[in-house]
Structure 1
Amino acid sequence: MHVSLDPQLIEQVPELKIGLIQYTKISVGDSPQMLKGRLQLFQEQLFFEIEEHGLDHFPSLVNFRTLFKQTGANPSRYLPSAEALYRRVAKLNYLPPVHSGIDSNTFFSLYYGIPFGLYERAALSGDVHFGVGNETTSYEALNGRETTLSGIITSHDAIGPFGSPYVDSQRTSVSTTTTDALHVVYLNPEMPLEEAKQLLQAVSSMFIQIHGGESSTVLLSKSNPEGTI
């Protein structure tokens, strides 16, 4: 699969970094107790940290609000997905376990404070391209609503848009029948490249530890705007 960043997107956000991890031969099912426990405990700890310091205490959340403004989206109206999770935790509306794929994705997003997207590889067609959505860019989101992605970073395949750091599409959602998946990691723009590569490796290792299988990664940036995974 060829993956790439649109030149306009790089121009708007020169510091943008997007990591991709492709998983094969994985097994998605009920989350192991270790993952359920870590997800619950981390939300409890995060609640007290948010209560004491507020959301502006977390640099990654602040940076993604800035990123949304750079691409033309209003981050007060279109919350970056990681901040939306933090706001749920702040209201004691903890995220319950669903299955190992979703639970892992939720844990990573909470732990690192950045948007993650996990997609069913069998539902993707052709290459993957990242650009900025316009008024005609839309899909049925995970909440069942038709969502327009104007001014928001959007991932596209040959069929059309399927993901973003705002909300993902129903078309490419993972399930307990998923055996191959694509992880998209919207990295903190201020994170150095070497640290970003280490983060991708840590995420990949933990995901494989839970789900088995194999993985390969690529990191897209201004200096490396395209690659193969």
Structure 2
Amino acid sequence: MEIHVSSELCSMIPHFQVGIIHYKDIIVEESPQMLQGKIQTFQESLYFDLEDKNVTDYEGIKEWRHVFKLTGKDPNRYRHSAESLFRRIKKHNFLTPVHSAIDINNFFSLRYQIPIGIYDADKISGDVLIRTGAETEEYFGLNGRINSLHHLILSSDDLSPFGSPFVDSERTSVTRTTKNALQIIYLRPSLIKEEADKLIQSLMNMFLQVHGGNGVYQFIKC
């Protein structure tokens, strides 16, 4: 599987970059208590921090809102997934465990203030192109409804779009039967390579510690 970024997206966001992790032979199950404890403690700390701050005061949240503006999507109507998590916590609507893959995604998304998508690699057909959505494109998302993809950054395979930093599709969702996965980390465009490398390695190491299997990562940028 090859992954590319479209020239159109690069013209809008010249410093666009993502981290990609390919996992094989993993076991997805209930998150271990260690992970559940980390997520709960982090959410409690963030909740108290948010008592004196706005969600948009956080640099990562702010930067990805700006990215949405650059592609023509109103960030006040279409909030990227990391911002949505922050707003839940500000309302004291803490995240509850789903399964190990999603829980790790949420933890790192909160920690680094960036959207992260994870997909069942066996449900992806062919190569992947990261681009912006056309006017007529849509999919049924994990939020339980049909989502317009117009002007959104999205990932598409040979069949159709399947992921976005706004909300991912149900078609390629990771479940407890998933054995091979693709993770897309929507890095802040301003993040330097050394910091991006630390982030990706930390995420991959925790994921493999919990799920077993093996993983390789790469950076793709404009």
SS in 1 for 2:52: helix
Give the Cα–Cα distance (whole angstroms) in 2 for the partners of residues 160 and 216 of structure 1.
25
Aligned partner letter, 1:7: S
Where does structure 2 lack aligned partners over 5 or more consecutive residues? Answer: none
SS in 2 for 1:174: coil
Q: 1:17-62: CA deviations, max 9, x gaps?
A: 1111000010000100001001111111001111112223310000
| Shift, 1:143, TM fit | 2.1
- Aligned-residue Cα RMSD (Å) equals 0.8
User: What is the CA-CA distance between 1:189 and the residue it aligns to?
Assistant: 1.1
Residue 175 of structure 2 aligns with which residue? 175
Deviation (angstroms), 1:144: 2.2
Q: Per-residue deviation at 1:70?
A: 0.3
For residues 218 and 78 of structure 1, what CA distance do their matches in structure 2 show? 28
**2:206 aligned partner, one-letter code:** M
How do residues 145-156 of structure 1 correspond to structure 2 at under 5 angstroms? 145-156=145-156
Per the alignment, in what secondary structure is the counterpart of residue 42 of structure 2?
Answer: helix
Equivalents in 2 of 1:56, 1:108: separation in Å? 18
Please state how far the C-alpha of 1:193 moved relative to its aligned partner.
1.9
How many residues align structurally? 222
* Cα distance in 1 for residues equivalent to 2:217 and 2:151: 27
Match of 1:198 in 2: 198
2:125 paired with 1:120 = no
Hey, what does 1:57 align to over in structure 2?
A: 57
In structure 2, C-alpha distance between the alignment counterparts of 1:221 and 1:164, rounded to whole Å: 16
When the two structures are superposed, what TM-score results if normalisation uses the length of structure 1? 0.95
Partners of 1:114 and 1:144 in 2: how far apart? 22
Tell me what 1:23 maps to. Answer: 23
Residue 137 of structure 1 and its aligned partner are, at CA, apart by 1.5
TM-score normalised over the length of structure 2: 0.98
Counterpart for residue 226 of structure 1: none
Q: Which amino acid aligns with 1:40?
A: Q
Partner residue of 2:78?
78
Q: Tell me the secondary structure at the aligned position of residue 52 of structure 1.
A: coil
- Cα distance in 1 for partners of 2:44, 2:153 equals 31
Q: Provide the residue aligned with 1:9 in structure 2.
A: 9
Is 1:101 the equivalent of 2:101? yes
In the alignment, structure 1 segments of 5+ residues that lack a partner are 223-229
Aligned residue runs from structure 1 range 122-161, under 5 A: 122-161=122-161
Give me the identity figure in percent.
Answer: 45
